[in-house]
Chain A
Amino acid sequence: DIQMSQSPSTLSASVGDRVTITCRASQSIHDWLAWYQQRPGKAPKLLIYKASSLESGVPLRFSGSGSGTEFTLTISSLQPDDFATYYCQQYNSYSTFGQGTKVEIK
């Protein structure tokens, strides 16, 4: 089974900050990686797929990069709506999510 590990688990930041979240896979997943945002009490929302492709309607301040085993999600300028938990998901072999990164207000 492919394991996914995100860091940090919690991130404190201010509006306007540049934020980077890292996701590591236990083996190569090529670029079969997605990122989701989940606000409290809500369903997850797809942000990025195939490591770097932006889902339609998602603001351009979100970007993804990486391949193989190491990936990043970057928010270029954090907005109030962006305080949420972010999950990576590999879909190279079945599907596995990372444990999540909570972005909190500093």
Chain B
Amino acid sequence: QLVESGGDLVQPGGALRLSCAVSGFTFSSFGMNWVRQAPGKGLEWVSIISDSGGAAFYADSVKGRFTISRDNSKNTLYLQMNNLRAEDTAIYYCAKQAPGTGWFFDYWGQGALVTVSS
């Protein structure tokens, strides 16, 4: 089970931290991701972090503004979002990387809504 929290209304230029609490699998054994979906739009991959937290990658649209992290002792994934823009408005899903090779996702949370507006 993956449960996101922290979604909120925030002003442009503001900051927000999302959390994703995980249960039901060995969190520390899998890479984790954030994927977002703007209202009425398609899916956009945002970021991935390795199982140990030692490596992270970002979409160009958020690079330098968002930071993904994890606490394996708390089974929790995070997304720190700074300098937020209107175009960051979306439902943010955390998603577990499937076993084996490849950045595809076998379990997803229910999503957290982030609204960036003045």
Contacts and interface: CB of A to CB of B under 8 A. Distances in A.
A43 B111 contact: yes
Contacts of B111: 43
A97 B44 CA distance: 6
Given A44-B43, A97-B43, A97-B44, A91 B103 contact: yes
B65 to A, nearest CB: 17
A49 B98 contact: yes
8 nearest CB pairs, A to B: A43-B108, A95-B45, A34-B104, A91-B103, A97-B43, A100-B42, A99-B42, A91-B102
B110 interface: yes
B110 A91 contact: no
Interface of B: 33, 35, 42-45, 48, 57, 59-60, 93, 98, 102-106, 108-111
Contact of B43 (A49, A50, A87, A91): A87
30 contacts: A1-B60, A32-B102, A34-B102, A34-B104, A34-B105, A43-B93, A43-B109, A43-B110, A43-B111, A44-B35, A44-B43, A44-B93, A46-B98, A46-B104, A46-B105, A46-B106, A49-B98, A49-B104, A50-B102, A91-B103, A91-B104, A94-B59, A94-B103, A95-B45, A95-B48, A95-B103, A96-B45, A97-B42, A99-B42, A100-B43
Interface residues of A, number: 23
Nearest to B44: A97
Contacts of A87: 42-43
Nearest to A97: B43
A46 B105 CA distance: 7
A96 B59 CA distance: 9
